[in-house]
Every structure is written in C-alpha cells, then in structure tokens.
C-alpha cells in the first residue's frame, strides 16, 4: 500500500510531517517553504543512506504544491502532440488549487486519458515544466535541488491520487464549512454534497474512493458528529446502504494524548467499499465513558481496544440503523415503535439580539411595563428553575422590534420570535448542554439556551415530565447524539413508553403535578416572604428596604396567582434608605430588622439565620456585624452580580454606612442621602471632633470625602455620568436622573468609578459588586453618527467621542459624555 496524506488538522499539537502533505487552507509563504524544505530533507536523507549513490526514484509525493507557470506554458512543452497537450492542460487544472485541496484531488473524477495511460508520458514534461519555472525563482543551488524534488513529488502525487488501494488508514482533518477557504468550500459542495458540512466527512467519502471495489477498506478516526447530526442524515443513509461496515469504536473527547479532556469527540470507523449483505453485522465498542458517564483515561482506552472483553463488544445490525430516527448510528438497540415525538414537539427558543439590553434579571427593573417574563437554562434537580429573567416586549413598534428590523436587513437577526407558538403553554424546559438538566416550562418567552418540549395533549404532561427528568431520558438522547450541545429536534427522537411513564407519574404525583412555586428569591415565582425561603435573612433585608417580588405587585403565572399583603409592608422603610448607625432620628438598622424578622418568622435565632445566609460560612456573631461586614457581598453573589440593595460607606468600619434600595434611588432620593442622612452624620461627627472624641476627626474626614463623591454623581459630569450605549445622545441622562429600567449594570457605573473600581476598601460600596465591561458581545446595527458617535469608533471612544469615517458597531460601554454635549444635543 502506498503511503499518502495523513491530513492532520492544522490545530493539533502532535502534527508531524507526511511525505504526501495536503493543504486544507491557503499556504502562506512561510509554511509553503517549510514543506518544500521538508521534502528536500527526506530526499537528502535517502541519498545519504544509499551511500551517496545516484538517487533512485523516490516514493515521495507532494500534493500541496501548485504550478506557477501558465496553462499555455505547460501545454507548449508537449509540442504538437495533441494527446500530450491535452494531458498537460488537464494536469495543470488539476493541481492549480492543490495548496487548498491537497489529497482531496481525484484525477479519476476528471475522466479522459490522463488516468489510463499518460502518467509515464507526462512525467518528464511535468518535471521540465516545474524545474524551468522554479529555477527562475531559485537563488541558490539548494533551492534548485529543492524545487526539483517538488517537481518529482507533484508528478508522483498525480499517480498516487489516481491509484486504488486495499487499505486506507488516516486521521482526517477537522474543519467546519464556515471556516473553509472559498475554493475548498465550493469544491466540497460540488464533489461531496452529502458531507460538505465538515472537511472530516468529505474525507470519509474521499478515502472510500481510494479503495478498490469489493477488496478495499478504510479505517478512519473522525469526529463522531456525523453519526447523529441531522446535517449528515443523507451521508449516513448512503454509507449504511452502500458500504459494508466492519467495526466502530467510540473514542470520546479525550482520544489524543495532546488534547487531554479538551479534544473533539471522536470515533474509529472501519468501512469496506462494497455493497452490504442484508444481514451484515458490524462490531462496536464504546471506550468513551463508563456507564456512570465518567470519562475513561487514555491508558485504559488503549488497553480496552487492544485486549477487548467480549462482554463489551456489541454486534450491531447495519441495515436496522436505517430505522433509527434520522438513521442515527446507535450501538445499543431501542424500541422504535413509539418515540416521544409522537406525543410532544420540541421548540427552539428565541434570539435575544442584544442580551445586555433586552434580557435582564427581573429584580433589575422597577416598572415591568414593556417586559415579558423569560425562562432560561434550568439548574437541574429542581422542578421549577430558570426563572431569573425578563426580556423586552417583542410586540411590533417596540425598541426590540425596531432593532430586530435593523438586524433583519443585515441578515443577522436570528429568530427573535422563535417558540412563540407555545408561549402560554406548559411543558418541559430542557437545556441543550451537558447532562441535559430540566425543569417545568411555564409558558414564558424562552431563549435559545433551552428547548421547550410541549405535549400535544396536556394530559400527557406528567408522564413526559417524569421521563424527561429521569436518567433514562439522558441516556436515550446520548445514544443518538453525543455532542455536548444537542439540537432541540433530537430531544424528542427517543423511545418513549407512554403507559410506563404514566404509571410512574401516578405514583409520584397522585394528585397531579404541583403548582409552580419556588423558595428561591432569585426566581420570579417566589412569593416574597422570608418564611420558607432559601435565604430568609436576605429576603427580610430586601423587604425591610421596601422591595417587592413580582407576585406581590400583581404578577401571576399558570396556577401561580398574585398574592395580597402579608403584613410585612408596615416594616418597609418609606424612602428606601436605611443607615446602619442611628442617623436622622432613625433607630439602628439591626434593631429595625429584628422587628421584621420576629413578625415574619415568629421565633428568632440570629446565629442560625446568619449561618444560613453565609454563602461561604459566616463569621458574624450579631446582626450588626453581619449587616456591616457580610450582607452586601453575599447579596451581590446571591443575585448574580446584579445587587438591588446597595451598601454605601465611607471606607471606615466605624463610619457612615447606608443600605439603599436601587429601585427608589432617583435624583431626589440620592440628594436626600447626601445632604440629609450623610449631612446629619457629618454634623454629628463635627460636634464630636470639636469635643475631641476618639476617631471623630477621622470619621468626619471620611464622611466629607464620601459626600463629595456622591455630590459629583448627582451633578453627573463626565466621567461620573450615566451612559447607556443603546440610547442616542439626546436621551442620555443629565446628572443623576437614571432610567432605572436600563438595568443595574448601566446605572451602577458612576458609583463604581467614583469609588475607584477594584479597591475594596476605597470604594463607595462595601464590596465590589460586579466587574465593568468596556464593550459587550456582538455588533450594533447601523446607527446615525450624529446620534451614536461611539458606534463609529475603532478604538475606545473615551470622553465626547467624535467617531470615525465608517460605522464599526462595537458595543462600547466605557463612554463618557459631558453635560455640555448632552445639553447641546437637546437644544
């Protein structure tokens, strides 16, 4: 058997030189020269080993080198012999794209006499053409010798690429269609329409064409995606019907020493180029994972493959694979008479277009007009989860719809209304990744991180829930799709025994499925009461500052109605400002919080509540300690780095501390905090400093510095201005007049910047609540430069960006507009 291209993927760390190197992307000058030197070194070594004798013809092929002379120049070498001229012209056309196509080139596909009889006749002409052309560029004798080797190699490549082989063994290159060079993509589309989605699958077909009919076989290591993705359905059917499958070994993600756990999931497949017998059985072994879904290490894989235990080898009926959903290749047999798709449909979720603008945590906004409740990835292990978000209303005329229209014109909009058919219905929400965690789908807008599996008959929902939340469901899906991210359509192409799962549901839920509810305060299903909450103390503080959960403000969900007053409203602070020390004739915060806790919980065990609240284990002994030292950091982590209760302080443990409800922090409230509460504290420290009380002078200085920073935020001059990238200049806030529905991330920036971001004890916040991002993912649709100059900047815009000459669309956040510029835009 001739040795030819190994076609290893360019990204692999264990790449080694092959004497018949193939290009899978356009060669740069550096890489092309490397390959030429490598070819010459092989020839030189052979010459030395032969005792410096005349170099015999080498079994050396270079299928990645293209002729640089013109077609006419090549044809001229054949003189008046039309047959040779024709052969040289076709040989030129065959290899003109060799740096891109490499050993995908198939001379037999070209037809004509080139294949049958002209190789030996054309070889001298070919060598002359290459040597004459390359000597023009050669500056040294070594260069001339090097190019001579390549000339011989190209001639040999044509011969080898047209030959037939008994056995083809290789690890194919992996390159998705979108990343392929235009020439390669077009070639694959024409030659391999059923496998064009990946270069790896194109090589499966190419290698089979290398095989002799009835006697040739290919043994290939490829990505396993083509076993189950819908994209390769036609390829699977063609191979199952037209080739004889001999053996399959699923190798898993960690199939390469250099990849470790990071590589693509791979499979070894041995196929013969002959029509299969109707009873053909192939042997299969899975060394990718243990039955417990844990990975098998490389050493163990090698052992399992070399010394196979007969109990681990499966005999698989080849043609019965055609009966599987989409003809997926499945090692283990399953009952196909009833699939889940018979009883339910799986729907893909909606695109968010701009996730930072159009999808927020529900606790980020004050007024929920213009927003819809939104469901995202479930946590797993809970019947109700993934209900953290709200997303912008998708009705025509709204800002979401206007952005979608702009993106639609640029063909980048995705599917902003995907899944609308089942909004308002119930089903199962299933994440597409990993172990496929599930929760109940509640009829909300859902994003494309999950699929909604919705029964055609609502009476089947309990059975479908029991099945989809079981390990059986995950195992069945993974039989037909081992990709980390599973397509939504695959989720219902699994065997489903309705009667069995109805019996399971009857035992587990004798009174029917429970009504939607959650004890998690980060879910919009939560009832807002500290009692029964996962985080009673944090809920109590939020209620103390006047925050209410959606169900307390009139929102209702399927079987989950809005709730009325619960008696804790009387304990809520009216202005949303609560100082930890006694300030402005108010009691200390801890004392007021104790009254609320006693009313909500009855008995009060502070130590237990503090211990339960600590996300990493609390060290505080009293509520006073906990509120001062631990609350805010825990609150920020609990609510996904979007804190709605802010702990502002002057940097001193014995200094000024205030908890502020973000939803009430408008201009008047901040002004009251700065000049009433903080002003009262400053006045008290001034009196104590004049009386020489210990630490009073230091507290006075720290408080005045805090007041100056907050006053600067009130004024709103750059760089302590509010900037919202999706609003034109005329709609940007002047001073501290925030649109609280823009979200916490946008409006918290002046406070973080004024407090020296990143310095824990120098900031306005008791802890660093979140990290600022200078730019967001994605690109903005085309906007007017006069209204959005920051989208016209290649580099970070800075203060008062003028923008460049062309629209860029980078979603900058670190922009600062002076008050003068804002006022000028509204003139």
Q: What is the pLDDT of residue 373?
A: 95
d(CA 40, CA 258): 28
Alpha helix segments (H runs only) across 583-645: 589-601, 606-613, 623-629, 631-638
Would you say residue 148 has pLDDT above 70? no
- CA dihedral in degrees (806, 812, 816, 822; nearest 10)? 60
Share of the chain above pLDDT 90, in %: 50
pLDDT: is 348 or 40 the higher one?
A: 348
In a 3-state reduction of DSSP, which class is residue 371? strand
d(CA 36, CA 58): 15
pLDDT: is 550 or 163 the higher one?
A: 550
Average pLDDT value for the chain: 83
> How do residues 581-603 score in pLDDT, each as one tens digit?
999 888 999 999 999 999 999 98
Give the CA angle between residues 105, 27, 31 to the nearest 5°. 120
d(CA 505, CA 511): 10
Per residue, the 3-state secondary structure of 166-197, as one string, reads CEEEEECCCCEHHHCCHHHHHHHHHHCCCCCC
Q: What is the pLDDT of residue 599?
A: 96
Domain residue limits, the chain: 1-163, 164-333, 340-508, 515-629
Alpha helix segments (H runs only) across 630-695: 631-638, 667-672, 678-690
In a 3-state reduction of DSSP, which class is residue 476? helix
User: What angle, rounded to 10 degrees, do the helices at 82-95 and 141-162 form?
Assistant: 100
Residues contacting 656, CB < 8 A, separation 6+: 579, 581, 583, 649, 650, 678, 681, 699, 702, 703, 706
Would you say residue 57 has pLDDT above 70? no
Per-residue pLDDT averaged across 252-274, rounded? 70
User: What angle, rounded to 10 degrees, do the helices at 199-210 and 233-242 form?
Assistant: 20
Q: What is the pLDDT of residue 80?
A: 78
Predicted confidence band of residue 242 (pLDDT cuts 50, 70, 90): very high
Q: What is the pLDDT of residue 333?
A: 59
CATH of 340-508, one of 3.30.70, 3.40.1710, 3.90.220, 3.30.110: 3.90.220
Would you say residue 387 has pLDDT above 80? yes
Widest CA span of the chain, in angstroms?
Answer: 115
- CA dihedral in degrees (467, 468, 469, 471; nearest 10)? 80
d(CA 710, CA 677): 12
Per-residue pLDDT averaged across 277-292, rounded? 78
Predicted confidence band of residue 545 (pLDDT cuts 50, 70, 90): very high
Tell which residue, 130, 58, 60, 57, has the closest CA to residue 88: 130
d(CA 368, CA 550): 9
Q: What is the pLDDT of residue 121?
A: 66
d(CA 218, CA 209): 10
> How do residues 298-335 score in pLDDT, each as one tens digit?
667 777 777 666 667 888 999 989 988 788 887 765 55
Q: What is the pLDDT of residue 679?
A: 96
Would you say residue 14 has pLDDT above 70? no
Instruction: Kindly list the strands in the beta sheet with 217-223, ordered across the sheet, starting from the edge strand earlier in the chain.
Output: 167-171, 217-223, 266-272, 244-252, 281-286, 314-317
The answer to whether 401 and 372 are in contact (CB under 8 A) is: no
Would you say residue 486 has pLDDT above 70? yes
Share of the chain above pLDDT 70, in %: 80
Q: At 2, list the tokens.
A: 């001739």
Would you say residue 696 has pLDDT above 90? yes
Q: What is the pLDDT of residue 32?
A: 52
The CATH number of 164-333 is: 3.40.50.150
pLDDT: is 228 or 412 the higher one?
A: 228
Predicted confidence band of residue 288 (pLDDT cuts 50, 70, 90): confident
Would you say residue 109 has pLDDT above 70? no
Per-residue pLDDT averaged across 783-806, rounded? 90
d(CA 661, CA 644): 6
Neighbouring-strand partners of residue 445 = 374
d(CA 810, CA 797): 10
pTM: 0.71
Q: What is the pLDDT of residue 442?
A: 95
């Amino acid at each position: 058997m001739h040795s030819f291209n190994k076609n290893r993927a360019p990204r692999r760390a264990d790449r080694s030189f092959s004497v018949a190197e193939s290009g899978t992307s356009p060669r740069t000058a550096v890489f092309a020269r490397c390959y030429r030197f490598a070819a010459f070194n092989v020839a030189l070594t052979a010459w030395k080993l032969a005792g410096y004798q005349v170099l015999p013809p080498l079994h050396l092929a270079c299928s990645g080198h293209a002729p640089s002379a013109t077609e006419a120049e090549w044809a001229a070498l054949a003189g008046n012999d039309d047959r040779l001229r024709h052969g040289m012209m076709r040989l030129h056309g065959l290899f003109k794209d060799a740096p891109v196509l490499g050993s995908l080139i198939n001379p037999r596909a070209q037809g004509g006499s080139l294949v049958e009889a002209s190789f030996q006749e054309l070889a001298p002409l070919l060598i002359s053409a290459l040597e004459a052309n390359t000597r023009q560029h050669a500056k040294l004798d070594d260069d001339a010798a090097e190019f001579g080797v390549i000339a011989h190699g190209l001639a040999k490549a044509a011969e080898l690429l047209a030959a037939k082989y008994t056995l083809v063994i290789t690890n194919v290159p992996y390159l998705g269609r979108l990343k392929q060079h235009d020439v390669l993509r077009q070639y694959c589309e024409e030659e391999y329409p059923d496998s064009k989605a990946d270069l790896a699958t194109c090589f499966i077909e190419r290698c089979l064409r290398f095989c002799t009919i009835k006697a040739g076989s290919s043994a290939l290591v490829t990505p396993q995606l083509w076993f189950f993705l819908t994209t390769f359905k036609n390829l699977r059917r063609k191979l199952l019907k037209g080739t004889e499958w001999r053996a399959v070994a699923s190798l898993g993600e960690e199939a390469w020493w250099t990849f470790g756990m990071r590589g693509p999931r791979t499979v070894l497949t041995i196929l013969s180029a002959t029509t299969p017998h109707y009873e053909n059985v192939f042997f299969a072994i899975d060394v990718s994972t243990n039955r417990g879904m844990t990975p098998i290490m490389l050493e163990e894989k090698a052992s399992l493959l070399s010394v196979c235990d007969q109990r681990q080898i499966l005999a698989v009926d080849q043609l019965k694979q055609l009966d599987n959903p989409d003809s997926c290749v499945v090692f283990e047999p399953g009952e196909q008479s009833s699939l889940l798709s018979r009883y339910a449909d799986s729907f893909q979720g909606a695109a968010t277009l701009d996730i930072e603008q159009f999808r927020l945590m529900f606790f980020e906004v004050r007024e929920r007009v213009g927003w819809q409740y939104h469901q995202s990835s479930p946590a797993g292990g809970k019947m109700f989860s993934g209900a953290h978000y709200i997303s912008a209303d998708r009705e025509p005329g709204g800002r979401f719809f206007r952005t979608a229209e702009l993106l639609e014109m640029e063909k980048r909009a995705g599917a902003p209304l995907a899944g609308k058919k089942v909004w308002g219905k119930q089903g199962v929400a299933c994440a597409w990744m990993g172990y496929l965690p599930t929760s109940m789908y509640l009829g909300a807008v859902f994003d494309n991180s999950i699929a909604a599996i919705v029964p055609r008959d609502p009476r089947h929902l309990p059975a479908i829930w029991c099945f989809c939340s079981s390990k059986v469901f995950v195992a069945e899906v993974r039989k037909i799709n081992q990709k980390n991210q599973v397509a939504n359509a695959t989720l219902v192409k699994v065997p489903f025994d309705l009667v069995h799962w109805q019996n399971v549901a009857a035992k587990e839920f004798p009174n029917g499925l429970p009504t939607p509810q959650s004890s998690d305060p980060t879910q919009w299903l939560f009832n807002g009461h500290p009692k029964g909450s996962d985080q009673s103390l944090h809920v109590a503080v939020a209620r103390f500052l006047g925050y209410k959960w959606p169900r307390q403000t009139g929102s209702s969900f399927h079987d989950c109605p809005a709730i009325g007053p619960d008696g804790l409203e009387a304990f809520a602070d009216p202005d949303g400002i609560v100082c930890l020390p006694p300030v402005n004739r108010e009691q200390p915060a801890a004392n007021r919080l104790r009254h609320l806790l006693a009313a909500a919980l009855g008995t009060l065990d502070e130590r237990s509540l503090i211990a339960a609240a600590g996300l990493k284990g609390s060290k505080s002994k009293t509520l006073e300690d906990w509120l001062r030292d631990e609350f805010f950091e825990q609150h920020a982590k609990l609510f996904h780095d979007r804190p709605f209760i802010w702990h502002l302080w002057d940097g001193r443990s014995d200094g000024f501390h205030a908890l502020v409800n973000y939803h009430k922090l408008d201009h008047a409230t901040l002004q009251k905090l700065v000049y009433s509460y903080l002003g009262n504290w400053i006045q008290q420290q001034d009196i104590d400093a004049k009386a020489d009380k210990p630490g009073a002078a230091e507290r006075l200085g720290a408080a005045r510095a805090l007041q100056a920073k907050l006053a600067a935020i009130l004024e709103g001059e750059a760089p302590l201005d509010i900037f919202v990238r999706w609003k034109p200049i005329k709609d940007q806030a002047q001073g501290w007049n925030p649109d609280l529905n823009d979200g916490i991330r946008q409006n918290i920036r002046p406070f973080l910047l004024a407090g020296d971001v990143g310095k824990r004890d120098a900031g306005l916040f008791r802890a660093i609540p979140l990290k600022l991002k200078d730019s967001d993912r994605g690109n903005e649709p085309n906007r007017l430069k006069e209204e959005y100059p920051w989208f016209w900047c290649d580099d970070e815009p800075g203060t008062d960006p003028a923008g460049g000459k062309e629209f860029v669309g980078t979603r900058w956040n670190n922009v600062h507009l002076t008050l003068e510029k804002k006022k000028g835009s509204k003139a």
